[in-house]
């Protein structure tokens, strides 16, 4: 059976788009992706989005965006998996193509967050946690991640400076990405001087509230040939995995193991017939610096408790053995939550095509992995992309 391929990608710059609506952001990314693929119609639309009903008081996004983009009377649906909505939407689009029911699928991830007051945005993001067991008691999403970070440091002996290295790496790469929200390198000192938002998490340990949209076109090789899409545009979706863990931390077997990521990665590796050592770069979900460390461990790149060690050794840099956040990640590119998984996919496609910006192109990149986290590790997707 032929595996699905991505034949077109598009994205908007990530930032504070005060004068651009959610629908216009989505359409901009869609038109770029369709132009990249050289097509003018698709069979269906999947929209990755976490909280449009809260942030902009708009649901029914499938119909809204398909109509606004002029896609005709196609089926269109929103996919929601908290902050992993984008990654889930990509996988749903791939499954639609694999089913044989649809030939050409469009996936767009979009989130418009900056229209909300900061206090409201904090509450909306906390909807990814357990409303009855966590949110009801006043805990924020940031606070939950701070608990995990404190436990990680206490258990393995790392310092705040050690984890700050993940942010430094992300900003070094984001500085060379024209689509990134933050285009300035930072130092460990920058991170350490930033204010605490939930001890030990500081402002520069966390990804920003922002807006953005990214889109991909998915089809199969036979259809791509029929449409005349050149092979240098093709990138194979070689493996996919998705899993959940307990939504609240109190019921988690181990706070320092992203069990859902581990299970999802195992599924993706098996489907793609690869191992962690075969992956040329990793786009992990660094909404908070500690999550980057835990993700590397769950993906089998580092032993348990040694994720932060890779950052200390410089292994996560573009020229390291395990490059991560090659275009800035959530920390520097930005984290428009429902769109993040699609941004990761677009960036991976550009790496594999050899079209990444100067200075952040991974040499001879053939296989990339994206990992998108919903909640505090409760809903996770892992997707492996490979050069055709």
Domain with residue 9: its CATH number is 3.40.47.10
For residues 269 and 164, membership in a common domain is answered with yes
Asked if 83 is an active-site residue, the reply is: yes
For residues 20 and 42, membership in a common domain is answered with yes
For residues 181 and 309, membership in a common domain is answered with yes
Counted domains in the chain: 2
Please give the pLDDT value at position 332.
Answer: 98
Q: 46 is in which domain, residue-wise?
A: 5-117+209-235
Specify which residues 169 forms β-bridges with. none
pLDDT of the chain along its 388 residues, tens only?
789 999 999 999 999 999 999 999 999 999 999 999 999 999 999 999 999 999 999 999 999 999 999 999 999 999 999 999 999 999 999 999 999 999 999 999 999 999 999 999 999 999 999 999 998 998 999 999 999 999 999 999 999 999 999 999 999 999 999 999 999 999 999 999 999 999 999 999 999 999 999 999 999 999 999 999 999 999 999 999 999 999 999 999 999 999 999 999 999 999 999 999 999 999 999 999 999 999 999 999 999 999 999 999 999 999 999 999 999 999 999 999 999 999 999 999 999 999 999 999 999 999 999 999 999 999 999 999 999 9
For residues 220 and 201, membership in a common domain is answered with no
Asked if 335 is an active-site residue, the reply is: yes
For residues 86 and 135, membership in a common domain is answered with no
Please give the pLDDT value at position 388.
Answer: 94
Selected catalytic residue, list 83, 171, 210, 285: 83
* Residue 337 belongs to some domain of the structure: yes
* Residue 365 belongs to some domain of the structure: yes
d(CA 162, CA 69): 45
For residues 258 and 284, membership in a common domain is answered with yes
Angle among Cα 353, 368, 263 to the nearest 5 degrees reads 155
For residues 225 and 265, membership in a common domain is answered with no
Find, among 210, 147, 171, 233, the residue nearest to 336 by Cα: 210
* Residue 124 belongs to some domain of the structure: no
Please give the pLDDT value at position 281.
Answer: 98
Could you count the other beta carbons within 10 Å of the beta carbon of residue 93? 30
d(CA 331, CA 130): 24
d(CA 102, CA 45): 11
* Residue 123 belongs to some domain of the structure: no
Please give the pLDDT value at position 2.
Answer: 86
For residues 353 and 217, membership in a common domain is answered with no
CA separation, residue 57 to residues 61, 119, 124, 140, 205 (Å)? 11, 16, 12, 21, 29
For residues 111 and 167, membership in a common domain is answered with no
* DSSP label at residue 288: B
Selected catalytic residue, list 17, 171, 285, 335: 335
For residues 69 and 95, membership in a common domain is answered with yes
């Amino acid at each position: 059976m032929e595996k699905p391929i991505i034949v077109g990608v598009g994205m908007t710059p990530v930032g504070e788009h005060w004068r651009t609506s959610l629908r216009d952001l989505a359409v901009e990314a869609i038109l770029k992706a369709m132009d990249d693929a050289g097509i003018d119609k698709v069979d269906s639309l999947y929209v990755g989005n976490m909280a449009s009903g809260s942030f902009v008081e708009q649901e029914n996004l499938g119909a809204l965006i398909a109509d606004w983009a002029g896609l005709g009377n196609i089926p269109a649906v929103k996919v929601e998996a908290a902050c992993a909505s984008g990654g889930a939407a990509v996988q749903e689009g791939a499954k639609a193509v694999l089913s044989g029911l649809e030939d050409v699928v469009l996936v767009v991830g979009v989130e418009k967050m900056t229209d909300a007051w900061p206090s409201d945005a904090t509450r909306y993001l906390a909807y990814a946690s357990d409303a009855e067991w966590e949110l009801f008691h006043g805990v924020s999403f940031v606070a939950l991640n701070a608990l995990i970070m404190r436990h990680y440091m206490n258990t393995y002996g790392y310092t705040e400076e050690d984890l700050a290295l993940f942010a430094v790496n992300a900003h070094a790469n984001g500085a060379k990405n024209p689509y990134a929200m933050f285009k300035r390198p930072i130092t460990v000192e920058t991170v350490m001087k930033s204010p605490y938002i939930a001890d030990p998490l500081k402002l520069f340990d966390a990804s920003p509230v922002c807006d953005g949209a990214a889109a991909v076109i998915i089809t199969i090789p036979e259809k791509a040939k029929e449409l005349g899409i050149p092979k240098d545009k093709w990138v194979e979706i070689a493996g996919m995995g998705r899993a959940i863990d307990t939504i609240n931390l109190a019921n988690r077997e181990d706070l320092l193991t992203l069990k859902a990521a581990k299970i999802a990665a195992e599924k993706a590796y098996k489907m793609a017939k690869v191992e962690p050592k075969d992956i040329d770069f990793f786009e992990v979900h660094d909404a908070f610096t500690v999550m980057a460390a835990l993700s590397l461990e769950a993906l089998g790149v580092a032993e348990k408790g040694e994720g932060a060690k890779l950052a200390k050794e410089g292994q996560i840099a573009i020229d390291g053995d395990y490059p991560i956040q090659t275009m800035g990640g959530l920390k520097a590119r930005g984290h428009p939550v429902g769109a993040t998984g699609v941004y990761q996919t677009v960036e991976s496609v550009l790496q594999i095509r050899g079209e990444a910006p100067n200075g952040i192109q991974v040499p001879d990149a053939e296989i990339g992995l994206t990992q998108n986290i919903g909640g505090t590790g409760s809903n996770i997707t892992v997707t492996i992309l490979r050069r055709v």
